[in-house]
Amino acid sequence: MRCSSTMLLAFVAPLLLLLPFTLAVKREDFKECAQTSFCRRLRSLAGRQESAPQGTFHSPYSLSDPVAVTNEGGSWTWPLRSELYPSVRFELRVDVLAEGDGIVRVRVDEVGSTTPFKRYNETAKWALLTPNPATSSAATLKSSSGKSVITYGPSSSHLSLEIAHSPLKITQLRKGKPEIVFNERSLFHMEHFRVKEIEKIEENVGGEGEQMVLKGGEMDRSWFEESDADMFQEKWKQWTDSKPKGPEGFSLDLTFPGVEHVYGLPEHASPLSLPDTTGPKAYYTEPYRLFNVDIFEYLADSPMSLYGAIPLLHAHSKSHSVGVLNLVASETWVDVRHDSDAVRTHWVSESGILDVLLLPGPKPEQLFEQYAVLTGPTPLPPQWSTAYHQCRWNYNDEEDVLEVDRRFDEADIPLDVTWLDIEYADEHRYFDWNAKFFPDPVRMLDAVASKGRKMVAIVDPHIKRTDSFRIYSDAKDLDVLIKKADGTNFEGWCWTGSSVWVDFFNENSWAWWTKMFDLKTWKESTNALFIWNDMNEPSVFDGPEISMPRDNLHAGGWEHRDVHNINGMMFHNQTSQALIAREDPAKRPFVLSRSFFAGSHRYGAIWTGDNMGDWEHLAGETAMLLSNNIAGMVFSGADVGGFFGNPTPELLVRWYQAGAFMPFFRAHAHIDTKRREPYLSDEPFRGYLRDIIRLRYTLLPVWYNAFHDASLRGLPIMRPQYAVFPEDNQGFSVDDQYYVGESGLLVKPVTTEGATTTQVYISDAQPYYDYFTHRLYPASAHQTLTLHTPLETFPLLVQGGSILPIRARVRRSSPLMWQDPFTLVIALSKQGSASGQLYLDDGVTFAHQKGEYIWKKFSFESGVLRSTNVHPAGEVVEKGVAPYDPEGNSWAQSIGHVKVEEIVVLGLKSKPKSVKVRGEEVEWKWTDGVSSSGKKEGGASELKIKNPGVGVVYDWAVEIA
């Protein structure tokens, strides 16, 4: 959310001057690389390297030869030196991890500094499942003059790491072919800790100022390392960054030989296949910036920072995929350049150690799994959170909330969650309801919950600085607030006015924050209320770049510059843990966050922030969400309708069609926009909106399957073309269509005004079926289909070979559907076969972790449709049910009566003679796709089997002869 003229009246006059009023991003509020001293210095390395005469520019870093190496069983450590600073000591450590089929970790840190400082080295503590994953004792090292070679990974992968000693260069190879090269361009550099040496320059043509000077007898380092006065103190606009540790930035170059596409680095409003930021083909003039900010109406196509930062990059070609995860939490800029032989990237960061993990692939699917090994998969969310959410800034009062709830029912539109933005809280003191407008929050929550629905209320990280507010007084007394550089509590301005921020890096805050959500503490809350963490970049209205000063201090003495990109994740994590702890037995939490980092997916969902309700932003959302998904942030979505603006009826319908196929499906709007709840639209638009929301509910089993796959293997829920068809180079740049998990559903939002036709690219040689009409598109690889897409429809195709479990009976909320029957839609492949799955559990508890679930595998082969039980160990449990509760109270038993009410088979070659279950004929109907006039209408043949008499819990077979 951002400001409006109405809400600004609530703030004191000085704050009015600090907040943006115009409906466009103010570029001048955010730095460019040249305005940031470390980026300016370190990015210039590439320019000096490219302009230097042949052989005069080289990496000053090397290992001694013969190599002095320490071996700790899959982990090796070498002394590393720089010829520029012989007295400064560095250390190179290489780990081959035990899990992940060949993940390698490369770390460099400064050691033995004569200053009292050290580099931030705790990013892995927060991002990874374990800060120091186990290493592989099977990895071996052989060293010779000038080179060390580590062999590792499964024998079939033929992986090796070649370390050139002088100058330092590290190459990951598969079968002797290089796939990732570190320091190929000699751009690796770590700015070591040093004492500031300055002299005054007498007033002259250039004016008076400070500069770094060389001591007598020191070598000239200007060919490699630049110096400037901003290394020890930096001013920008009215703010001064004290930089007490001086320069501590670092640069690295990573080259990906033989690839043409790189993906990742969310969050940016850019194409999925990242365009160049440097070189002759530069699409952007600035590098991709990773620095979480509260950006007002972000541009629809830009490398500017947004709300999240995941320093993960995938490099892909027809032959292989590899990835890198650069574990750095400070501000980072990344240049990308596509050359004829490789994609070359240059990363520069403000602080921290070098901690890079090399993911070997060799295909996208393995990259997703390897990233999940490191950071964990996305846990299963509450099932209801995958349904439809209705939000705006703001629903005014209890009456307004209940009126919205009622009108959804009247319009026959399902709804699971109603949201409250900042105005529910008295003076924006989160946890404190405004009693004038919400006199009985428990009554309101209970009324909503009576229909199976939930509510979400915002709890932002800024805490109103007033002793009468219990959250502030508690945090102050516990001494868990973020500090200024001088050690006093930091104060800034946000929605509450004068505010403070809890330091969630301080472990003393954790138990206290958990207690704040306890139902005995927050008595105006119930277990039907869930949480929205906004503004957690953090957003500080009167701070540099609308954020917190970099020299603020966190627990352990670390500066905010060191941990900035993790800050929002820490808030997200502790809020999620608090919701888990508030009930016994625990329920799955739902917490939405705006800021995120690598590992944030473990704690809940995110959304893409303050978008515009226009065609350009609608068109760009798919690529943004695909980028989030391949980087593990799968539970993500965009504000449907756009946060700002008043979309036309046509645009609103197209937004809903796109939103219904985002993992997180929420409509949201700014306080100054017109009310646009779907029931307010005139016909026929209201009907279109109702149909698309109901479609989401029909397909909820498909979405839950996809979330389940993500929870097991880290697989994306929105899968880009290159990830599904990694050998089809025609699809590598496609970022406006995608597949939903492994379901075979292919979606392409319509994002052009007035469009009545839309083109969809098909990679594989399988038939595709229109989900709505069952029209058949015959198998033909690498074809582009032109589909008829008037406003009431959009491209939604089913890939041949897929079986979709759906629930055709839509109720007013998804929890009310839990015992409803299923329909199976079978889209046959060119070979006449198909497969699919159905995963079910109670949707809210953690009982599934103890085996309380149903997971069925469906297969259609040689005219027989089978349902069989799936378990991780492969065993079949009695009656196809996950372990029974010995007391006879298992959830699985409670749905033993749930049936498959219909089976629809598309694409049979000929009309069957019989359809039998357990040897007995069942009711069926056949349509051959031919009209009464005998002409083909383009429809697939359709076999409908009504009430086959089979249940989802049991193993069974349907024979079609």
Summarize pLDDT for 784-831 with one digit per residue, the tens: 999 999 999 999 999 999 999 999 999 999 999 999 999 999 999 999
Cα separations (Å) of 542 from 20, 238, 475, 549, 888?
11, 10, 22, 10, 60
Task: Give the position of tokens 């180079």.
Answer: 729
Strands 388-390 and 665-667: parallel
Of 909, 890, 902, 915, residue with least CA distance to 947? 902
The verdict on whether 355 is a catalytic residue reads: no
For 400-420, letters b (16+ CB in 10 Å) and e give: bbbebbeebeebebbbbbbbb
Task: Give the position of tokens 């969630």.
Answer: 504
Residue % of the chain over a pLDDT of 90 = 86
Q: Which two tokens stand for residue 575?
A: 């809020």
Q: Which amino acid is at 299?
A: L
Of 384, 526, 381, residue with least CA distance to 818? 384
Give the end-to-end CA distance of the chain in Å, rounded to a whole number.
59
For residue 890, the model assigns a pLDDT of 73
Of 542, 571, 548, residue with least CA distance to 561? 548
pLDDT of 618-668, one tens digit each?
Answer: 999 999 999 999 999 999 999 999 999 999 999 999 999 999 999 999 999
Residue 350, preceding bond cis, omega within 30 degrees?
A: no
Report the run of H or E that residue 289 belongs to, with start and end: strand 288-290
The highest-confidence range among 604-618, 837-851, 860-874, by mean pLDDT, is 604-618
Q: Which amino acid is at 912?
A: P
CA atoms of 300 and 813, how far apart (whole Å): 34
CB under 8 Å to 202, separation ≥6 — which residues? Answer: 208
Residue 362, preceding bond cis, omega within 30 degrees?
A: yes
pLDDT of 409-441, one tens digit each?
Answer: 999 999 999 999 999 999 999 999 999 999 999
Q: How many CB atoms lie within 10 A of CB 537?
A: 29
- Average pLDDT on 842-848 reads 94
Instruction: Tally the C-alpha atoms within 13 A of residue 836's C-alpha that lie toward its C-beta.
Output: 29
Task: Give the position of tokens 């300016």.
Answer: 40
Task: Give the position of tokens 């001064």.
Answer: 240
Do 31 and 293 meet the contact criterion of CB atoms below 8 Å apart?
A: no
Catalytic annotation, pick one of 248, 297, 537, 735: 537
Cα separations (Å) of 407 from 188, 402, 809, 812?
60, 9, 20, 11
CB under 8 Å to 747, separation ≥6 — which residues? Answer: 661, 737, 738, 739, 740, 794, 795, 796
Predicted confidence band of residue 10 (pLDDT cuts 50, 70, 90): very low
Q: Name all contacts of 155-164 with Cβ < 8 Å and 24+ positions apart.
A: 157/101, 157/102, 157/360, 157/362, 159/102, 159/360, 161/94, 161/96, 161/104, 163/63, 163/94
Task: Give the position of tokens 């809350």.
Answer: 525
Task: Give the position of tokens 């006059």.
Answer: 13
Q: Which amino acid is at 675?
A: R
CB under 8 Å to 238, separation ≥6 — which residues? Answer: none
- Average pLDDT on 914-934 reads 83
Range list of β-strands (E), 648-795: 665-667, 718-719, 738-740, 745-747, 757-762, 768-770, 776-777, 783-788
CA atoms of 922 and 915, how far apart (whole Å): 6
For residue 581, the model assigns a pLDDT of 98
Q: Which two tokens stand for residue 550?
A: 């970099």
Task: Give the position of tokens 């320069």.
Answer: 247
Range list of β-strands (E), 396-472: 417-420, 454-458, 462-464
Instruction: Tally the C-alpha atoms within 13 A of residue 391's C-alpha that lie toward its C-beta.
Output: 33
Do 303 and 284 meet the contact criterion of CB atoms below 8 Å apart?
A: yes
DSSP type of residue 727: T
Catalytic annotation, pick one of 95, 335, 610, 728: 610
CA atoms of 675 and 400, how far apart (whole Å): 12
Picking from 7-16, 188-197, 678-687, which range would have the lowest pLDDT averaged per residue?
7-16
The verdict on whether 537 is a catalytic residue reads: yes
Is residue 130's pLDDT more than 90?
yes
- Average pLDDT on 580-586 reads 97
DSSP type of residue 527: T
For residue 938, the model assigns a pLDDT of 77
For residue 7, the model assigns a pLDDT of 38
For residue 199, the model assigns a pLDDT of 42
CB under 8 Å to 114, separation ≥6 — which residues? Answer: none
Picking from 215-229, 244-258, 709-723, which range would have the lowest pLDDT averaged per residue?
215-229
CA atoms of 426 and 612, how far apart (whole Å): 29
pLDDT of 363-378, one tens digit each?
Answer: 999 999 999 999 999 9
Is residue 723's pLDDT more than 80?
yes
Residue 66, preceding bond cis, omega within 30 degrees?
A: yes
**Burial class for 689, CB neighbours closer than 10 Å (0-12, 13-18, 19+):** buried
Ramachandran quadrant class, 90 (left: phi over 0; alpha: psi -120 to 50; beta: rest): beta
Residue 79, preceding bond cis, omega within 30 degrees?
A: no
CA atoms of 415 and 388, how far apart (whole Å): 6
Strands 332-338 and 605-607: unpaired
- Average pLDDT on 564-583 reads 98
Is residue 881's pLDDT more than 70?
no
- Average pLDDT on 553-560 reads 98
pLDDT of 678-702, one tens digit each?
Answer: 999 999 999 999 999 999 999 999 9
Predicted confidence band of residue 871 (pLDDT cuts 50, 70, 90): low
Is residue 159's pLDDT more than 80?
yes
pLDDT of 194-235, one tens digit each?
Answer: 888 654 334 444 444 444 444 445 688 989 998 888 999 999
SS3 assignment, position 953: coil
CA atoms of 663 and 383, how far apart (whole Å): 12
For residue 344, the model assigns a pLDDT of 98
Predicted confidence band of residue 26 (pLDDT cuts 50, 70, 90): confident
- Average pLDDT on 288-309 reads 96
Helix spans in 660-725 (H): 685-698, 700-713, 721-724
Is residue 877's pLDDT more than 70?
no
Of 296, 308, 304, residue with least CA distance to 26? 296
CA atoms of 313 and 367, how far apart (whole Å): 10
DSSP type of residue 17: T
Instruction: Tally the C-alpha atoms within 13 A of residue 618's C-alpha that lie toward its C-beta.
Output: 25
CA atoms of 807 and 899, how far apart (whole Å): 11
Is residue 552's pLDDT more than 50?
yes
CB under 8 Å to 688, separation ≥6 — which residues? Answer: 653, 656, 791, 792
Q: What is the CA radius of gyration of the chain?
A: 29
Q: Which two tokens stand for residue 741?
A: 């998990």
- Average pLDDT on 295-311 reads 96
Biggest CA-to-CA distance, the chain: 102
**∠ at Cα 338 (336, 339), nearest 5°?**
135
Do 289 and 331 meet the contact criterion of CB atoms below 8 Å apart?
A: yes
Q: Which two tokens stand for residue 651?
A: 């645009």
The verdict on whether 218 is a catalytic residue reads: no
Catalytic annotation, pick one of 109, 230, 534, 841: 534
Q: Which two tokens stand for residue 828?
A: 């046959």
For residue 904, the model assigns a pLDDT of 98
Is residue 19's pLDDT more than 80?
no
Residue 311, preceding bond cis, omega within 30 degrees?
A: no
Is residue 11's pLDDT more than 70?
no
DSSP type of residue 127: H
